[in-house]
Amino acid sequence: MKRRQFIAVLCGAAAMWPLAARAQQPAVPVIGYLSARAARTDGPMVSAFQRGLGESGYVAGQNVTIEYSWGEGQIDRMSELAAGLVRRQVAVIVTSGGERVALAAKAVTTTIPIVFLGADDPVQLGLVASLNRRGGNVTGVTMLLSRVTTKQMGLLR
């Protein structure tokens, strides 16, 4: 009789194993994409963004979800759209369309990481504390074109 009970318990555990394994799957991270432009004009940026995610092992719809928020050229809507991404509790906010979009995102959250691409000085704009140590939840890439050009001209002389 003990043998039959042992087999019954073993079969029951084997039947429950897929349910337990499924329950322990980690949640799919959600990336917020905030743009001042329209979806149709931001296509090349979105394609490059998705390609970069793919190179890092993230595929939209499989192991990451992307929530898009489009400003449609209305920069005054950025704070509202950024607040919507914060309410959805995204893991990170990626901004596109200029520094004003990153500033709008920074204004609504101090905890969610924000990634930006800009051409102006992020320290002067108030996005980061310094180029060496960002000092907050905002990071990104900047071109610093005016400073680089001045330095290049100095080196040429």
Q: What is the pLDDT along the chain (157 residues), one digit of tens a residue?
A: 555 554 544 444 455 555 555 555 668 899 999 999 999 998 898 999 999 999 999 999 899 999 999 999 999 999 999 999 999 999 999 999 888 999 999 999 999 999 998 767 888 888 888 877 778 899 888 877 666 666 667 777 7
Question: What does DSSP assign to residue 25?
Answer: P
The residue extents of the domains of the chain are 30-151
> What letter does residue 75 receive in the DSSP assignment?
G
CB atoms near residue 92 (< 10 Å): 16
Q: Among candidates 68, 72, 73, 75, which has minimal Cα distance to 90?
A: 68
Whether 109 contacts 137, CB under 8 Å: yes
Q: What is the CATH number of domain 30-151?
A: 3.40.50.2300
Cα within 13 Å of Cα(78), Cβ side: 25
Q: 157 to each of 147, 148, 153, how far by Cα in Å?
A: 16, 14, 6
Nearest to 118 by CA among 139, 132, 149: 139
Whether pTM exceeds 0.85: no
